[in-house]
Structure 1
């Protein structure tokens, strides 16, 4: 820039979290999928015209182009259409409502430690005129684990989310995109189906992006619904793959032999083609001449990795050490990661770190993303398979160390929002423990990690019980039981509680096995109170099994344990014993006695602070 010269400047007015942004190194025009895109557009027009809710599921293998199809569709929607995004996490079973949290954050754009009150206030404002606006906002924020919010049952949460979506759709068409639904918890899938089944007279399009594994865990997904459509994406044809490769490299032509070799290796997988072209350019096997691309050698002889995972691994190995260190540290956090977390984990020189991040953005391996915390910068791996390849390259000892350090970072970053991230902190502590004991004995440090993980996961599991999210609660409590030493007496109460959740879920055989173990531990501990807790849960299992003489045995057990609980001042035990009495009275058609026993049980649950038992 010469002295006195002028330049044309632009002012940044707003940053949109999910906007596609400027063309990146290997962004290219959309190829193929005309019929699938047209079908999406038709379904959307019908939902708007008929004012109905429609569920669309897009199924395809990893790397085939599911997310790109949806991005192309949503980018063409009118300005009055609200588009919200959420994604399911591939790790940490029990994080049920994470996709909902992302959807709500995008809706409210709330940041900072005061976000709990902010979110509730913004949601309530969106529900202006609804007499239940306060309750809806409370139930939505409660499901997200925000401090001070009243937590409801899974049914109440689904109702509240549906009412929120309907309020948004009242102002204009609503499109909700949920990615990686094959990793969703069953309770979240129930929520999506609830919205699809019960929303009426509102233009809502629910788009679920998933791999075919979704149908393994939910074979009836979308079945029997007149307002549900499934779109299966096959791999690109050979001509489409060649067009994609040509688009990636711009107007300069590629030698036909090189183009043929790349297209043949990609086998219709768009991500494979993109990453193979990127690797060839990085390795100078493709060079840009003034008017064309030139292959450095005969690519027919090029050894091509057999799978997309192998290709990504090879590409990562070819990166400079700083960039590779950034990606491997970032992979510990997940598909989305924060700058300060990676800086803490990778410990690079500051200037080198910034240069590495910029280089990875230029390579289009990572992209800027909206952060979860105020004052932070965040990035997203361009594809989850790149993240997976980076994580796989870490040895177990490095994984143990990085998971532990990331958990510490997240606890500090979350501050008074820790409850919102408690399952994730617990997951990383759990991973640190598991990798450490895989390499050596359960020493003091490993025991400390297990204890910290138990604290976080058990708290999350008990909150899941309160909202009647039984699949998540069972998963979390089972993980806690595996973390505790086998002879730890704390496992007795935990296994008794776990058996109760399993009984509620109808998983009676598993409940029986949990109680068998709890009984052995209680006998070894010679603890009358713990044995009484296990005995009560055993009676519930016998009742549900319909065992002969089970009712009489249950009555004798209740009469035996109540004095024990009264003597020890155990309100939780008394709650469960009185609830057992209520069941016995109910089955014997003694209505007044059943009501009295249930009222006593509720009183003891309130005193014990156990809201799962109370509700």
Structure 2
């Protein structure tokens, strides 16, 4: 079929190629719904490359668990450096080899990776790594994906956000005229076809190829109508290939079919395409249509044939083996290969992939000891992937099996694993009971890895619960025990948490322990511990207002989590970054980032103790109708987590709400927490509580060691306090001190800052204060384009809602507002949450209702 209405996209690709030829490489995203013609555009472009550029092609697979680095294995020249790096499994070597391949010769290089919405995490990491460096290469990276398959938490979204300057080529449906051209008729005679297909090129071509007598009701009907016309042997071969996602390499195809000439009728019919390296369906939708039409028994037999063929290879692709073993119902093969495939994925940092593979293995009949070990591994995989309920379920089941098996050491380690998962899920008492039981049961057995493991994670839990002295006792014992037994793998966690406990108690020397533990983790290649070190360091730097150092940690963490999947730690660290953004007055951006960082569980979960208090504080400062609910949720979360920093942060926001609204009882939590913030390590928390209680009229005063920005305010030295906040870079706090001066000029200056920030409640109080001071010309404030909406949306969120209602996609909104796609994703998610709707269409309806009420 003719390629219609894609001239603009091909011109954009040509422009990117010209830039690459000049040494200024680009990333080009070609995206749209399934069947919209992404592959056709890329193939048309590739045909133009002959003699002009070196082309490398890879594709991602729709497997139960994608092949690790599968598209790069497809694209790598045989026996070249990239193939060697992939075989060696060295991640850094793969990164270097891809970059070297793209820069190797004088002619530009074009790396095409199709269907990246199915990519495994390591592949996404490589693409992100290359995309950030391609501007200095004579190369272009062409990536295709289905944007209708990208949910809010899809792993491709961070990649899109990390490459904001790339070219985006969204493909839309064909016009009525183009559909008529493909159908060989007029817009009138093809009207029914246009309505049926919506202009989707694949749907159109399949319907046209099915014949002129009738328009099939579905694409499946269109595909099967063509398939039924094939000779029996060709149909059988087609069905065999239909169970192989994304195509079969020629060796596999020959192993399955023998003589490939049997495929000629399907190839002539436009159903299959045969390339030098593989046999593929012309479109994945066609493959799915054929596969879905098969009886279950036939489909299982075909999967079994593929499995047998794959296992003839000395080093089979384990992800493919597991996919076909599952399809064949071959539990023995699943039990043999799924655990190794899962561990392979976990080592590569692909935790979602690993979880899916562990689940496959656990569906089979395994010895109890092996099942328990897999469940413990699955619990940790869920932990890193931010699946709290899944982690607790897996850990609980592992403990039950270990209890039946009667091995005290194995049971103790399983209990310790479960304890951390319970703590992370805010099941605090259960977690403490589990880890205390582990330690008590292991001590009679003397020194062991299991006892050191249990003591280490007891310390982790205790330090997170602000029980630092108990935590220090446990971690010191664990480190000493580990030293006697030579247990290097446990030492990084021990050092990190000893350092955190010391620093939380006011001993700044603890910072060196945290850094030493993180460095040792890097040396040992323990990536989980590396990101844990970043998380703890970020927490401590925030506590002590060391913001420049915090920004350095944020950048280091970003680079690390770009190449691994550690969602839990990443969300915690980014929450501290968002809190810093809020401190600097960028409330809309902070709000969006904090909402993204929340755990997807009732009440917010573990990560929410960092996000919810600041999210509530932003709502308070903006006068959002959401503020009371957010304050209540934040307090309930902090209380459940039993963590004093989260309680203090929430109590501070409550005290601010009390000051703004006159509801003094809202400050009761702040008053109750004062006694708990006495002593070293709590100076900033205590100072902030006292400053808000001072504003409420409580008889409070500064204390020795009180940070100057708080102490000056408590002394009523507004100039010193405002100057201190200006040095920190906190405009809202500075404005509040200016407006407390009792003088017109600084109060008016502070009011202007509050208006600029959108701090409407505080600005209203200040206007009343100015009038009480006898100032006759009080500024009315910025003219609002619209009155406050009852949904409590920020100005930025309202702007984005209008674009959503206009039918704009997130990438289009990002381009319009000069934001990253990820930031827009977060804003859209926040808007839907505030409106209480689940879809963009419902959001548009909600906007119409809001406009009616203005």
TM-score, scaled relative to structure 2: 0.51
Q: How far did residue 89 of structure 1 move?
A: 0.5
Q: Which residue of the partner structure matches residue 220 of structure 2?
A: 309
Q: Hey, what's the Cα distance between the residues in 2 that align with 1:614 and 1:241?
A: 53
Q: Hey, what's the Cα distance between the residues in 2 that align with 1:93 and 1:545?
A: 26
Q: Hey, what's the Cα distance between the residues in 2 that align with 1:430 and 1:594?
A: 42
Residues 502-513 of structure 1 mapped to structure 2, 5 A cutoff: 502-513=382-393
Task: Flag the 1:453–1:370 CA change in 2: closer, same or farther, 3 A.
Answer: farther
Residue by residue over 1:311-359, the C-alpha shift from the partner in whole angstroms, topping out at 9 and shown as x without a partner, is 112221232222211110111233323567567667xxx8xx6653222
> What secondary structure, in the 3-state scheme, does the structure 2 residue paired with 1:532 have?
helix
Q: Hey, what's the Cα distance between the residues in 2 that align with 1:386 and 1:393?
A: 11
Residues 307-456 of structure 1 mapped to structure 2, 5 A cutoff: 307-337=218-248, 356-371=262-277, 378-412=278-312, 414=313, 416-418=314-316, 421-433=317-329, 449-456=330-337
Residue by residue over 1:442-481, the C-alpha shift from the partner in whole angstroms, topping out at 9 and shown as x without a partner, is xxxxxxx213212111111112223333222222112212
Task: Flag the 1:471–1:267 CA change in 2: closer, same or farther, 3 A.
Answer: closer
Residue by residue over 1:407-446, the C-alpha shift from the partner in whole angstroms, topping out at 9 and shown as x without a partner, is 111111x2x222xx1221122111111xxxxxxxxxxxxx
Q: How far did residue 88 of structure 1 move?
A: 0.8
Q: Hey, what's the Cα distance between the residues in 2 that align with 1:340 and 1:101?
A: 15
Q: Hey, what's the Cα distance between the residues in 2 that align with 1:545 and 1:244?
A: 56
Q: Which residue of the partner structure matches residue 275 of structure 1?
A: 206
- Higher relative contact order (Cα pairs below 8 Å, separated by 6+ residues): 1
User: Residue 474 of structure 1 contacts residue 502 of structure 1 at CA under 8 Å; is this kept in 2?
Assistant: yes
Residue by residue over 1:181-222, the C-alpha shift from the partner in whole angstroms, topping out at 9 and shown as x without a partner, is 221234432332232234552233222111123432245552
Q: Hey, what's the Cα distance between the residues in 1 that align with 2:446 and 2:216?
A: 65
Task: Flag the 1:596–1:462 CA change in 2: closer, same or farther, 3 A.
Answer: farther
> What secondary structure, in the 3-state scheme, does the structure 2 residue paired with 1:41 have?
helix
Q: Hey, what's the Cα distance between the residues in 2 that align with 1:278 and 1:483?
A: 44
What residue ranges of structure 1 are gaps of 5+ in the alignment? Answer: 1-27, 111-117, 125-136, 247-253, 281-298, 372-377, 434-448
Residue 144 (structure 2) pairs with residue 209 (structure 1): yes
Q: How far did residue 530 of structure 1 move?
A: 3.3
Residue by residue over 1:145-195, the C-alpha shift from the partner in whole angstroms, topping out at 9 and shown as x without a partner, is x3xx2x346xx4674455445543x64422221111221234432332232
Q: Hey, what's the Cα distance between the residues in 2 that align with 1:178 and 1:551?
A: 48
Q: Which residue of the partner structure matches residue 494 of structure 1?
A: 374
> What secondary structure, in the 3-state scheme, does the structure 1 residue paired with 2:57 have?
strand
Q: How far did residue 585 of structure 1 move?
A: 11
Q: Hey, what's the Cα distance between the residues in 2 that align with 1:552 and 1:228?
A: 51
User: Residue 152 of structure 1 contacts residue 466 of structure 1 at CA under 8 Å; is this kept in 2?
Assistant: no
Q: Which residue of the partner structure matches residue 480 of structure 1?
A: 361
Q: Hey, what's the Cα distance between the residues in 2 that align with 1:183 and 1:509?
A: 25
Task: Find the partner of 1:239 among 170, 177, 182.
Answer: 177
Q: How far did residue 267 of structure 1 move?
A: 4.2
Q: Hey, what's the Cα distance between the residues in 2 that align with 1:123 and 1:166?
A: 12
Q: Which residue of the partner structure matches residue 123 of structure 1?
A: 81
> What secondary structure, in the 3-state scheme, does the structure 1 residue paired with 2:263 have?
helix
Q: Which residue of the partner structure matches residue 350 of structure 2?
A: 469
Q: Hey, what's the Cα distance between the residues in 1 that align with 2:191 and 2:439?
A: 77
Q: Hey, what's the Cα distance between the residues in 1 that align with 2:461 and 2:188?
A: 79
User: Residue 86 of structure 1 contacts residue 99 of structure 1 at CA under 8 Å; is this kept in 2?
Assistant: yes
User: Residue 176 of structure 1 contacts residue 206 of structure 1 at CA under 8 Å; is this kept in 2?
Assistant: yes
How many residues are paired up? 484
User: Residue 180 of structure 2 contacts residue 186 of structure 2 at CA under 8 Å; is this kept in 1?
Assistant: no
Q: Which residue of the partner structure matches residue 9 of structure 1?
A: none
Q: Hey, what's the Cα distance between the residues in 2 that align with 1:309 and 1:363?
A: 16
Q: Which residue of the partner structure matches residue 175 of structure 1?
A: 110
Residue 498 (structure 2) pairs with residue 602 (structure 1): no
User: Residue 66 of structure 2 contacts residue 118 of structure 2 at CA under 8 Å; is this kept in 1?
Assistant: no
Q: How far did residue 595 of structure 1 move?
A: 6.3
TM-score, scaled relative to structure 1: 0.68
User: Residue 411 of structure 2 contacts residue 438 of structure 2 at CA under 8 Å; is this kept in 1?
Assistant: no
Task: Find the partner of 1:93 among 65, 81, 88.
Answer: 65
Q: Hey, what's the Cα distance between the residues in 2 that align with 1:530 and 1:589?
A: 25
User: Residue 254 of structure 2 contacts residue 260 of structure 2 at CA under 8 Å; is this kept in 1?
Assistant: no
Task: Flag the 1:565–1:36 CA change in 2: closer, same or farther, 3 A.
Answer: farther
Q: Hey, what's the Cα distance between the residues in 2 that align with 1:477 and 1:407?
A: 19
Q: Which residue of the partner structure matches residue 71 of structure 1?
A: 43
Larger radius of gyration: 2
Task: Flag the 1:542–1:336 CA change in 2: closer, same or farther, 3 A.
Answer: closer
Q: How far did residue 399 of structure 1 move?
A: 1.4
Q: How far did residue 611 of structure 1 move?
A: 8.3
> What secondary structure, in the 3-state scheme, does the structure 2 residue paired with 1:91 have?
coil
Task: Flag the 1:178–1:263 CA change in 2: closer, same or farther, 3 A.
Answer: same
What residue ranges of structure 2 are gaps of 5+ in the alignment? Answer: 492-523, 530-854
> What secondary structure, in the 3-state scheme, does the structure 2 residue paired with 1:67 have?
helix
Task: Flag the 1:529–1:402 CA change in 2: closer, same or farther, 3 A.
Answer: farther
> What secondary structure, in the 3-state scheme, does the structure 2 residue paired with 1:333 have?
coil
Q: Hey, what's the Cα distance between the residues in 2 that align with 1:544 and 1:319?
A: 57
Q: Which residue of the partner structure matches residue 534 of structure 1?
A: 414
Q: Hey, what's the Cα distance between the residues in 2 that align with 1:545 and 1:255?
A: 61
> What secondary structure, in the 3-state scheme, does the structure 1 residue paired with 2:243 have?
helix
CA RMSD between the two structures: 3.8
Task: Flag the 1:507–1:474 CA change in 2: closer, same or farther, 3 A.
Answer: same
> What secondary structure, in the 3-state scheme, does the structure 2 residue paired with 1:207 have?
strand
User: Residue 243 of structure 2 contacts residue 291 of structure 2 at CA under 8 Å; is this kept in 1?
Assistant: yes
Q: Which residue of the partner structure matches residue 34 of structure 1?
A: 7
Q: Which residue of the partner structure matches residue 191 of structure 1?
A: 126
User: Residue 103 of structure 2 contacts residue 109 of structure 2 at CA under 8 Å; is this kept in 1?
Assistant: no
Q: Hey, what's the Cα distance between the residues in 2 that align with 1:261 and 1:424?
A: 41
